[in-house]
């Protein structure tokens, strides 16, 4: 089972007051400090000054969009974007000597933070079956070995291909093309653990899995609801957009169990008033909802809106929109009218007056945007919750009109683009037909596995070869012990990566590390210098062009690795021109333009400054649902309530990490320093549980399968979270998330609502 890491120690915790504002001068200082500690001033200048500029490097951080070309600042980035880009641009290197010195079992004792800190990977490495060391291997041999394993499988479905959302459109398109030419739809991705629930809910109700809002819509909304997201840490430039919303007279309501700093006040470091002034207040109202209480909240809000219409007919609902563009209103309205107030107050932890206050904000606003992220998607009732938000938007016609709409805020910089390119285990037939027509092979039609199903399949021996295209699957996935065992049961695990992480050291019998160019680096192929493209959270597709010398002469681009792997696996009969693709990424984009809707004339349009926006059918009045209309839905599901002596735990990000990779042990805005092995708990719950600040406990999760899941050695921190609710960092607590604790429709792990108890150590 899992190798316990000797780094599972709580560290020296110190506390300061949680901050009530985000960004400002400290953010700029922290960004520069981190950048200069990783690399030289010259490389820092090259990355930071070209970041998010029209001919520059797209920030490898989150998917927040850039302003229009003429409206960008010289420094168009945030503290965390600067940290992410310089984490890649680091001058530190992992060499063959490093691997000679450290056995795989030694490295498996180290944390992801330590592994990441060793620097950039520099050459392909192979761990042979039976060996405890990685050794250098030539590219040809490494790729040949992976191809041989793939060819030796009884069925293509015995392999699985994982993608993380940093992968470019070009590489993602090639990965799915290769997997399908090889014969499988086993294409799990980080999205399965991220916004899968948003995609599922929006597809069902609106006929598109994407958000409907542009940056201008957000800035011109009368009201923005920020539900279940922490923009101050995870999408910091969203605060610049929200500052505009406020300056335009819009109002903001934050709905979150935690009073996050960025929801309160923002000091824009790009503006004089943000440097010397008190900044701009972000949320006009804060609803401190219980974990998982959002479904009850929106149901209650919708009931209040229906009642307001009853009291003043013709003034509240957008009858025209409801009658002409939607179906299912009657069933929805009957259901919502029966919402039980006592249950709502128990589930949300809010007062009726607070919810009525929200109703009044809504009634005073013609144009409403709802933004959300992991606080909504990582729940057992994530899909019903997001569907209920769509109901809410439809009631007042807040879809398809300027200044309004649904805004799922994406995580990884190209997670949305990867899906557009076909990274999905169940792409619709239309897409597969287009592949067949263009390339002349028959892509498999039966669905593949998502992330959770892939783990089961590896555990059961049904999947034997795992290839990860970026990411850190072992640490990102739920149920760490089970997932690690699943990986260890594979014959071969291989990863295309920039930096070392836990997935390289919890391996199958044999393992490969295939080091690749990052987005910051110059990419020259036979056809000359190349750029790649990405799609941001608001469906704008644009270029990203590397600027730095590659970290090592032995790195290949993701595209090159995939083309060589495809040639080696599929042999000479392949109908796909892999050589041409490797030499010239424009040739890949030509094919994408013929296969993926919205990408016509791709090369020409992406050459325009700032790129182009993909059409959104909802904003053009089309709903690609079965009925051709937007769909009201009836949503049920019990909010999570822990039994006596237990709490509901959410697992979330600190300010100073990128997903599975912590940069330091500090969480500046929450005033937690020196340790990540902490649990934030309401002070009254601590007292009731007979525990005190600073107590050391094991966190044990409760799930009906008889397996004990334990995260050892956490310190308790009193924190203003609602009663019954706790919070701790991911990935340290992923060990607590039961693999089958998922939303029923999306299959997404419910890592924000785990029932736990504490055992004092
Ligand atoms: N610096 C930095 N930036 C990042 C990332 C990173 O790791 N570091 N990761 C990127 C990725 S891949 C993603 S997906 C995004 C994630 O961005 P977020 O979704 O903001 O990330 P989380 O830290 O998971 O925070 C979830 C927020 O939801 C709240 N929440 C939890 N449960 C509930 C609930 O039941 N209801 C409500 N209303 N709120 C709830 C939490 O209190 C927290 O504020 O960030 C992206 N950007
Ligand atoms: N409990 C819990 N679990 C969660 C979450 C949570 O909130 N709670 N959040 C989930 C979410 S939203 C997500 S998105 C996933 C994240 O899951 P992943 O996307 O799998 O994880 P990351 O930590 O982003 O991956 C980091 C690794 O990516 C590699 N990498 C970075 N840049 C590049 C590149 O340009 N090319 C290549 N080839 N490799 C690169 C580096 O080797 C680095 O170590 O985790 C999920 N898991
Ligand atoms: S908001 Fe996101 S995309 Fe923008 S600079 Fe920060 S991390 Fe990068
Ligand atoms: Mo994510």
217 within domain boundaries: yes
Question: In degrees, to the nearest 5, what angle opens at C-alpha 372 toward C-alphas 369 and 374?
Answer: 175
Cα dist from 753 to 566, 724, 733, 737, 742, whole Å? 41, 11, 12, 9, 10
Spacing, Cα 737 to ligand 3 middle (Å): 28
Q: Is the pLDDT of residue 266 over 50?
A: yes
Res. 354 pLDDT band, cuts 50 70 90: very high
Instruction: Say whether both 232 and 163 belong to one domain.
Output: no
pLDDT tens, 374-422? 999 999 999 999 999 999 999 999 999 999 999 999 999 999 999 999 9
Q: How many structural domains does the chain have?
A: 3
Last residue of a domain, one of 565, 596, 627: 596
429 within domain boundaries: yes
Beta-bridge partner residues of 698 = 759
Res. 50 pLDDT band, cuts 50 70 90: confident
Instruction: Say whether both 401 and 430 belong to one domain.
Output: no
Cα dist from 622 to 205, 208, 407, 584, 593, whole Å? 12, 10, 18, 36, 22
Instruction: Say whether both 281 and 427 belong to one domain.
Output: no
**Ligand 2, residues 228, 470, 518, 756: which to mutate, most atoms within 8 A of Cβ?**
470
Q: Is the pLDDT of residue 503 over 90?
A: yes
Beta carbons within 8 Å of 28's beta carbon, 6+ residues apart: 79, 269
Cα dist from 246 to 39, 224, 252, 701, whole Å? 37, 10, 8, 42
* Rounded CA separation 392/411 (Å): 24
CATH (domain of 399): 3.40.228.10
Q: What phi and psi, each to the nearest 5 degrees, are found at residue 375? A: -65, -20
| Whole-model pTM over 0.95 | yes
pLDDT tens, 332-346? 999 999 999 999 999
Res. 272 pLDDT band, cuts 50 70 90: confident
Instruction: Say whether both 432 and 337 belong to one domain.
Output: no
Nearest CA to ligand 2 atom 46: 476
576, 177 Cβ separation under 8 angstroms: yes
Q: Is the CB of 741 under 6 A from ligand 1?
A: no
What is the rounded average pLDDT of the residues 35-54?
A: 86
538 within domain boundaries: no
Cα dist from 729 to 11, 60, 248, 642, 677, whole Å? 14, 22, 36, 19, 8
Instruction: Say whether both 288 and 348 belong to one domain.
Output: yes
Spacing, Cα 529 to ligand 4 middle (Å): 30
Res. 33 pLDDT band, cuts 50 70 90: confident
Tell how far CA 604 is from the center of its chain: 30
Instruction: Say whether both 259 and 382 belong to one domain.
Output: yes
Q: Is the CB of 499 under 6 A from ligand 2?
A: yes
What is the per-residue pLDDT for 7? Answer: 58
What is the rounded average pLDDT of the residues 600-610?
A: 97
Instruction: Say whether both 391 and 501 belong to one domain.
Output: no
Q: Is the CB of 80 under 6 A from ligand 3?
A: yes
Instruction: Say whether both 290 and 347 belong to one domain.
Output: yes
Three-state DSSP class for residue 537: coil
Q: What is the dihedral of CA 160, 161, 163, 169, to 10 degrees?
A: -150
Q: Is the pLDDT of residue 41 over 90?
A: no
Direct distance between the N- and C-terminal alpha carbons of the chain, in angstroms, rounded to an integer:
22
DSSP letters of 584-636?
A: -HHHHHHHHHHHSTT-TTHHHHHTSTT-EEPP-GGGGT---SSSSSEE-----
Last residue of a domain, one of 573, 596, 619: 596
Res. 4 pLDDT band, cuts 50 70 90: very low
What is the per-residue pLDDT for 2? Answer: 44
What is the rounded average pLDDT of the residues 553-578?
A: 97
Q: Is the CB of 414 under 6 A from ligand 2?
A: no
Spacing, Cα 378 to ligand 4 middle (Å): 10
- Name the residues around ion ligand 4, CB cutoff 5 A: 194, 411
Instruction: Say whether both 584 and 444 belong to one domain.
Output: yes
Last residue of a domain, one of 567, 596, 625: 596
Spacing, Cα 192 to ligand 4 middle (Å): 9
Q: Is the pLDDT of residue 660 over 70?
A: yes
Q: Is the pLDDT of residue 1 over 50?
A: no
* Rounded CA separation 605/590 (Å): 12
Q: Is the CB of 147 under 6 A from ligand 1?
A: no
**Ligand 3, residues 77, 166, 542: which to mutate, most atoms within 8 A of Cβ?**
77
Identify each DSSP E strand in 251-306 by its residue range.
Answer: 251-255, 265-267, 280-281, 285-287
Instruction: Say whether both 341 and 452 belong to one domain.
Output: no
Instruction: Say whether both 384 and 344 belong to one domain.
Output: yes
Instruction: Say whether both 435 and 361 belong to one domain.
Output: no
Q: Is the pLDDT of residue 277 over 50?
A: yes
Least confident of 5-14, 80-89, 107-116: 5-14
Q: Is the pLDDT of residue 3 over 50?
A: no
Tell how far CA 152 is from the center of its chain: 34
* Rounded CA separation 731/393 (Å): 34
Q: Is the CB of 85 under 6 A from ligand 3?
A: no
What is the per-residue pLDDT for 152? Answer: 98
361 within domain boundaries: yes
CATH (domain of 754): 2.40.40.20
Spacing, Cα 650 to ligand 1 middle (Å): 10
Q: Locate the ligand 3 atom nearest the alpha carbon of residue 64 and give its number.
A: 3
398, 405 Cβ separation under 8 angstroms: yes
Question: In degrees, to the nearest 5, what angle opens at C-alpha 159 toward C-alphas 156 and 162?
Answer: 130
pLDDT tens, 730-754? 999 999 999 999 999 999 999 999 9
Tokens of 234: 């995870």
Q: Is the CB of 177 under 6 A from ligand 2?
A: no
Residue closest to 96 by CA, chosen among 128, 121, 131, 119: 121
CATH (domain of 451): 3.40.50.740
Mean pLDDT of the chain: 95
Res. 178 pLDDT band, cuts 50 70 90: very high
Q: Locate the ligand 3 atom nearest the alpha carbon of residue 61 and give its number.
A: 7
Helix (H) and strand (E) counts in the chain? 31, 33
Domain that holds residue 326: 196-408
């Amino acid at each position: 089972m899992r190798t316990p890491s000797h780094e599972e120690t709580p560290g020296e915790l110190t506390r300061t007051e949680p901050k009530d504002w985000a960004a400002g001068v400290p953010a700029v200082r922290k960004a520069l400090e981190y950048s200069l500690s990783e690399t030289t001033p010259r490389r820092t200048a090259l990355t930071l000054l070209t970041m998010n500029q029209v001919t520059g490097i797209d920030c490898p951080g989150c998917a927040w969009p850039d302003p229009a070309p003429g409206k960008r600042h010289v420094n168009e980035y945030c503290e965390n974007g600067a940290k992410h880009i310089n984490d890649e641009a680091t001058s530190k290197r992992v060499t063959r000597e490093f691997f000679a010195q450290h056995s795989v079992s030694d490295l498996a004792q180290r944390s992801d933070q330590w592994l990441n800190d060793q620097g950039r990977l520099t050459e392909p490495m192979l761990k042979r079956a039976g060996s405890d060391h990685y050794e250098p291997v030539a590219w040809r041999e490494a790729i040949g070995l992976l191809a041989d394993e793939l060819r030796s499988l009884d069925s293509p479905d015995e392999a699985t291909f994982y993608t993380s959302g940093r992968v470019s459109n070009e590489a993602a398109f090639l990965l799915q093309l290769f997997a399908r030419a090889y014969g499988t739809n086993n294409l799990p991705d980080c999205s399965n653990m991220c916004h899968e629930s948003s995609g599922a809910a929006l597809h069902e109700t609106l006929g598109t899995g994407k958000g409907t809002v542009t940056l201008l819509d957000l800035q011109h909304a009368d009201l923005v609801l920020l539900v279940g997201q922490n923009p101050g840490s995870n999408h910091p430039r969203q605060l610049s957009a929200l500052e505009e919303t406020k300056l335009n007279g819009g109002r903001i309501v934050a709905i979150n169990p935690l009073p996050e700093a960025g929801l309160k006040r923002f000091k824009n470091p790009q503006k004089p008033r943000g440097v010397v002034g008190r900044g701009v207040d972000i949320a006009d109202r804060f609803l401190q909802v219980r974990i998982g209480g959002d479904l009850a909240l929106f149901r209650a809000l919708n009931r209040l809106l229906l009642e307001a219409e009853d009291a003043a007919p013709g003034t509240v609902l957008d009858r025209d929109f409801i009658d002409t563009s939607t179906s299912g209103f009657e069933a929805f309205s009957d259901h919502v009218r029966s919402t039980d107030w006592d249950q709502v107050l128990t589930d949300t932890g809010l007062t009726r007056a607070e919810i009525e206050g929200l109703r009044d904000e809504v009634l005073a606003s013609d144009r409403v945007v709802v933004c959300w992220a992991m606080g909504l998607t990582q729940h057992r009732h994530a899909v019903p919750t997001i569907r209920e938000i769509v109901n809410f938007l439809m009631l007042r016609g807040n879809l398809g009109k300027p200044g309004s709409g649904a805004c799922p805020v994406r995580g990884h910089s190209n997670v949305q683009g990867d899906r557009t390119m076909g990274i999905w285990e169940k792409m619709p037939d239309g897409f597969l037909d287009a592949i067949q027509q263009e390339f002349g092979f028959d892509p498999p039609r039966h669905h593949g596995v998502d992330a959770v199903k892939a783990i089961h399949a590896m555990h059961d021996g049904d999947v034997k070869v795992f290839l990860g295209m970026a990411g850190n699957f072992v640490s990102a996935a739920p149920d760490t012990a089970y997932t690690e065992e699943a990986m260890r049961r594979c014959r071969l695990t291989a990863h295309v990566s920039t930096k070392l992480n836990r997935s390289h050291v919890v391996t199958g019998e044999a393992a490969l590390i295939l080091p690749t160019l990052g987005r910051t680096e110059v990419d020259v192929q036979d056809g000359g210098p190349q750029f790649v493209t990405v799609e941001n959270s608001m469906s704008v597709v644009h270029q990203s062009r590397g600027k730095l010398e590659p970290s090592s002469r032995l790195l290949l681009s993701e595209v090159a690795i995939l083309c060589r792997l495809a040639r080696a696996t599929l042999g000479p009969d392949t109908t796909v021109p892999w050589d041409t693709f490797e030499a010239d990424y424009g040739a890949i984009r030509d094919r994408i333009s013929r296969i993926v809707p919205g990408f016509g004339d791709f090369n020409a349009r992406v050459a325009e400054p700032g790129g182009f926006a993909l059409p959104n059918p909802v904003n053009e009045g089309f709903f690609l649902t079965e009925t051709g209309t937007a769909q009201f839905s009836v949503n049920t599901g019990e909010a999570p309530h822990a039994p006596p002596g237990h709490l509901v735990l959410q697992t979330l990000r600190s300010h100073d990490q990128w997903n599975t990779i912590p940069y330091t042990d500090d969480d500046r805005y929450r005033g937690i320093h020196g340790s990540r092995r902490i649990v934030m708990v309401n002070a009254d719950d601590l007292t009731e549980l007979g525990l005190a600040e600073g107590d050391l406990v094991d966190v044990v999760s409760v799930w009906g399968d008889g397996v004990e899941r334990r995260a050892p050695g956490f310190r308790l921190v009193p924190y203003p979270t609602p009663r019954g609710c706790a919070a701790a960092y991911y990935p340290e607590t992923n060990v607590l998330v039961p693999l089958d604790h998922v939303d029923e429709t999306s299959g997404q792990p419910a890592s924000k609502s785990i029932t736990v108890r504490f055992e004092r150590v």
